[in-house]
Amino acid sequence: MLPLLRRRHSTLTTSLDRAKRLAATRAVRENFSPAHNYIGIGSGSTVVHVVSSLLQVATANTTFVPTGYQSRSLLLSAGLRVALIDEVPPGAIDIAFDGADEVDPAGNCVKGGGACLLMEKLVAVNAGRFVVVADWTKISTKLGERYAPGVPVEVLPAAASYVMSRLRELGATPVLRSGAKAKAGPCVTDNGNFILDAAFPGGIEVADAAARIRGIVGVVEHGIFSDADRKADVVYYGMKDGEVLVQGIIQ
């Protein structure tokens, strides 16, 4: 990377990180209650700031429910009490905090850039309130216009080829997500499945795409968070100018 481009990249990274921290701080301040017994914690870079803020207010009665290995490790390293989703009564999570790859004006989200979409959705649907924390680059007027990889789709490994063919019939351009730099082969989720990234040229018609993708045999879950399962109740965006934009009504 050229020196000038490197400096610009570093400046943007710092600005985004600051925006996430400010959004996370406000989201926790305005939504956390000492009366909460179970709090869901999503995955991704924004969640680091959420956990940091929660450390200042969590009580001895607070149990955290992670959505994946990353968030579980983060919580344990912070000395917080952790329970897996199957150890928590259905619907008992008071509130869940998570990030997003893209959010539209209605609170519909695309999630799964970190390959934890299944567990993130499972925690979200069990939560009384779903709070999304993001930065200004995730604001979208229509899903599919900002997050270039498209909709993450978790699939059974044996069904990957078939699901890709069906996604093409829906007008998508699916790609099998590859693993990390040190790993040869596909990305494997915490659940032992593969991830397909399905880009829809022209954007996503949320309700139609969510139903059609879920109806494909071999699909375990997709990364569209909408009225069909759970969209955000409120979104906190850290903005470039240092302000925090709140989308939604805080009860």
Instruction: List, by residue number, the catalytic residues.
Output: 120
Q: Are strands 95-98 and 130-135 parallel, antiparallel or unpaired?
A: parallel
Yes or no: say if 138 and 237 are a contact pair by the CB < 8 Å rule: yes
